[in-house]
């Protein structure tokens, strides 16, 4: 089932929570199974490079990535990593990141350029994956989510504050546009059903200014 992606603006506490590990696959209950199904279903809808379970309100340690886009050799369209453990290495470089939970913006973050991740698949089989460059960055970004860490937390505090202000402004513009579209839709619907349209708050019509006509001077008297 598709689940809405949580936003830093409305679900800060959930996004900041450390997620619980999955038990051994033999002990999975329906919640564990549906958590993985929902992660896959949501990722199929929103696409992107990766998504972590807590981003859709599931406080469990699982992430999904798109291996083709990250250059990770894999037969399947998506790769699910359950209880991933990451070890980073290599040079630290700055690269641009974005996140579904920090909408509208992107920003530069420094991260090690190599990593090794050990994880379990949905059948409980253990695997190890080595990645470098942007794939290593993406895996670190997604696995950070499981510890309640967002990429903006790895920036300087000034950059983070500026980015969050941008997010807030963009969200205000979006919700205002949505409100106007809703009002316009409601009015269209009313006019179709013969009901009186409601005044939209943005279109208060001002009274047209009436210019006072000055009496024309008579040309008499010269
Ligand atoms: Zn993210």
Band (197; pLDDT cuts 50, 70, 90)? low
CA 141 – ligand 1 centroid, Å: 6
CA 91 – ligand 1 centroid, Å: 22
Report the residue count for the chain.
222
Band (202; pLDDT cuts 50, 70, 90)? low
| Residues bordering ligand 1, an ion, CB closer than 5 Å | 99
pLDDT surpassing 70 at residue 107: yes
Residue with tokens 């990766």: 50
CA 65 – ligand 1 centroid, Å: 11
At 198 the pLDDT is 63
Say how far apart CA 93 and CA 113 lie, in whole Å. Answer: 7
User: Do 112 and 136 meet the contact criterion of CB atoms below 8 Å apart?
Assistant: yes
Band (193; pLDDT cuts 50, 70, 90)? confident
Catalytic residues: 142
Band (74; pLDDT cuts 50, 70, 90)? confident
Say how far apart CA 25 and CA 83 lie, in whole Å. Answer: 11
Q: Which of 27-31, 133-137, 140-144, 200-204 has the lowest mean pLDDT?
A: 200-204
CA 203 – ligand 1 centroid, Å: 39
CA 5 – ligand 1 centroid, Å: 10
pLDDT surpassing 70 at residue 138: yes
Which residues are CB-contacts of 89 (< 8 A; sequence separation ≥ 6)? Answer: 112, 114, 115, 116
CA 83 – ligand 1 centroid, Å: 17
pLDDT surpassing 50 at residue 222: no
Please report which helix (H) or strand (E) contains residue 50, including its range: strand 50-52
Say how far apart CA 209 and CA 215 lie, in whole Å. Answer: 18
At 220 the pLDDT is 45
At 54 the pLDDT is 98
pLDDT digits (tens, 9 = 90+) for 203-216: 455 555 656 566 55
CA 44 – ligand 1 centroid, Å: 16
pLDDT surpassing 70 at residue 17: yes
User: Do 118 and 126 meet the contact criterion of CB atoms below 8 Å apart?
Assistant: yes
pLDDT digits (tens, 9 = 90+) for 145-186: 999 999 999 999 999 999 999 999 999 999 899 999 988 888
Band (125; pLDDT cuts 50, 70, 90)? very high
Mean pLDDT of 74-93: 95
């Amino acid at each position: 089932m598709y689940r809405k992606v949580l936003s830093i603006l409305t679900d800060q506490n959930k996004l900041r929570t450390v997620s619980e590990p999955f038990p051994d696959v033999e002990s999975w209950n329906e919640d564990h199974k549906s958590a993985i199904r929902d992660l896959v279903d949501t990722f199929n809808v929103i696409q992107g490079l990766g998504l972590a379970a807590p981003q859709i309100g599931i406080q469990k340690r699982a992430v999904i990535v798109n291996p083709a886009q990250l250059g990770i050799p894999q037969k399947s369209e998506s790769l699910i990593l359950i209880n991933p453990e990451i070890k980073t290495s290599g040079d630290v470089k700055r690269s641009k990141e974005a996140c579904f939970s920090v909408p509208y913006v992107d920003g530069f973050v420094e991260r090690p350029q190599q990593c090794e991740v050990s994880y379990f698949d949905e059948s409980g089989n253990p695997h190890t994956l080595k990645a470098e460059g942007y794939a290593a960055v993406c895996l670190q970004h997604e696995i950070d989510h499981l510890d309640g860490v967002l990429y903006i937390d790895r920036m300087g505090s000034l950059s983070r504050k500026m980015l969050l202000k941008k997010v807030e402004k963009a969200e205000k513009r979006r919700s205002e546009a949505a409100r106007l579209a809703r009002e316009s839709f409601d009015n269209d619907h009313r006019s179709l059903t013969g009901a009186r349209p409601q005044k939209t708050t943005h279109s208060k019509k001002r009274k047209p200014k009436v210019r006072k006509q000055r009496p024309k001077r008579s040309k008499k008297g010269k």
